[in-house]
Amino acid sequence: MNITAIRPLGGALSPRELEEAALAAQDAPYGLLHLGPRQELLIPGVSPDHPRLRAFGALARDAKAAPNLISSQLAGGLGGSDWASAQDAYRDINQSLPPDIPFAVNLCHPAQAFVPLFSGRLNFIASEETGYWFLVFRLQRQRQLFPSLIPSDLIAAAITVVNKRLAADPDCSVLSLSSTLLDSLPRLKTAPAFRPAAAPAASPAGFLRQEDGRFSLLLDNRQFPWRWQTLQALAQTARLQGLGQIFLTPQRQLLFKHLAPEKLESWRRLCAFLRLPLQGGYDASWILPPADPWALRLVASLDSRDLSGLSLGINADPECGVQVLIESQRGLFGLRRYRLSHKQDFDPRSPVIIECGSELSFSGLRQALVDLQRKFVATPSRDPQALAMPLPQAPLPQRHHCRDCRSEYLAELGSPSLGIAPGTPFNRLPADWCCPLCDAPKSAYQLVEAQG
């Protein structure tokens, strides 16, 4: 199957360009698009010559015939910050690069130094000194640090010098290439010891507060392709709100910057309608009873993408800080029946609980959850800015979480089936104690911080 790749500089597309790409995918066999790992938009089953893609020109190419040559931290998708992000250096350098670079170039945040993105022939990495960059060559399958820091305004010149040198001698050594650069570029500084920054934690999905008081929206859909209708709706909203660019991040996320606080509610409702999770990554967030294999099976059997944006508890205390409560019980002939309720205005802090279904079968529970999600979409948030941070929740008892199967040990409940009395702290469990669900050893458990 033919795959078209759209590879904009630094992963930045205008809302109109994203909408055109989405409409082009409408003619594909499945109407799906993918975000690639090098800030690219991939459209299976669509030719680069599609009428909707002509405006992209050389940006739209056959994915197999044209590797992505420029990758940049312009999108800021790592969640870390450096001087280059604060001063828009990634954008300015992108715009200064020659259009016909024949080899891969990366403009990296320091934390990207040893992740897969660090794979270009030339890799420029923001140093601690404002305005200067480390350069790491990757030639003959080896990586070598250039001995000098390069000023931002000479990066394009450095690429041109390397291009000419490699064109004249494709097999030249790193030493020879370094000597050519040292002789050709002014204002170089001796490079200090190169200490790559530790990679920051992946940015959470949802609204992130910016320094200017506005917000960014990071949408993570890595488990699934994007439907063309979803990207069209997002692009139209961005265009109507006057956003200049939409970014494809190196982590295959979509990033919208500079959202006005008063617009957050409209974005929340749009994302809920499109089944795009905001907080909590890919899935809805759950609070489950400890050591209960049935609860885990219930979560696995529910389509969590239809519940994005909600927090749910199964047989949980109403004060545990969730928006939706599912209670189960055995009915006639041992069949399970479910009761479904939610907090007023979907505010987990609310003391008012509204029942929306009782004595439900499993199929009835699923349909009631779909209806509840629609109600959630239509319910305005009381405080849109609260969406940018976790909502306060009632303190949870200390609990330990099995890394293998997600079951939890709560000291206040103990584990009576294994002879562990309620109130037994985790550190007083026998050394040979095992997870009651998957038989993982005690060492496989880790403390889960209570959210308050």
Q: What pLDDT, in 10s, does the model give residues 129-152?
A: 999 999 988 887 677 889 999 999
Query: At the top level of CATH, which class does the domain 285-388 belong to?
Result: alpha beta
Distance, CA of 413 to CA of 289 (rounded, Å)? 10
pLDDT of residue 143: 77
pLDDT at 409 over 70: yes
- Tell me the C-alpha distance between 105 and 124, whole Å: 8
Average pLDDT rounded to a whole number, residues 226-244? 94
CB-based contact 199:6 (threshold 8 Å): no
Average pLDDT, the chain: 79
pLDDT at 113: 47
Average pLDDT over residues 418-427: 81
32 HSE (CA, 13 A, CB side): 10
Q: Are 329 and 345 in contact (CB under 8 A)?
A: no
Strand order in the sheet with 399-402: 408-410, 399-402, 445-448
> Is the fold of 285-388 the same as that of 399-448?
no
Q: Between vectors from CA 241 to CA 238 and to CA 242, what angle results, nearest 5°?
A: 90
Could you please report the per-residue DSSP string of 129-184?
STTEEEEEEEETTEEEE-SEEEEGGGHHHHHHHHHHHHHH-TT--HHHHHHHHHHH
Mean pLDDT of 363-376: 88
Q: Which pLDDT band, with edges at 50, 70 and 90, does 386 fall under?
A: very low
* pLDDT computed for residue 426 by the predictor: 87
Are 275 and 232 contacting, i.e. CB atoms less than 8 angstroms apart?
no
Query: What are the CA-CA distances from residue 330 to residues 301, 302, 416, 419 (Å)?
Result: 18, 19, 21, 25
Distances (CA, A) of 122 to 5, 167, 201, 437: 22, 15, 26, 50
Token pair for 133: 């960059």
pLDDT at 36 over 60: yes
Q: State the amino acid at position 133 in one-letter form.
A: W
Q: What is the pTM of this model?
A: 0.58
Per-residue three-class SS string for 67-116: CCCEEEHHHCCCCCCCHHHHCCHHHHHHHHCCCCCCCCEEEECHHHCCCC
Q: Calculate the CA 268 to chain-centre distance.
A: 16
pLDDT at 93 over 60: yes
The pair of structure tokens assigned to 268 is 């929340």
What is the rounded CA–CA span in Å between residue 23 and residue 262?
Answer: 29
Residue type, 139: L
Domain range annotation of the chain? 285-388, 399-448
Q: Strands 336-343 and 40-44: what pairing? A: unpaired
Contact by Cβ (8 Å): 180, 161: yes
Residue of 119, 114, 128 lying closest to 84 (CA atoms): 128
- What is the C-alpha separation between 45 and 30, in angstroms, rounded? 8
C-alpha span between 189 and 353 (Å, rounded) = 65
Four-way CATH pick for 399-448: 2.20.28.10, 3.50.50.100, 3.40.630.30, 3.40.1190.20? 2.20.28.10
Look at the block and give the residue holding tokens 């990066």: 155
Per-range mean pLDDT, top range of 160-164, 254-258, 272-276: 160-164
Task: Say which residue the tokens 């190196």 belong to.
Answer: 250
pLDDT at position 58 is 60
Alpha-helix residue ranges (DSSP H) falling in 274-345: 293-301
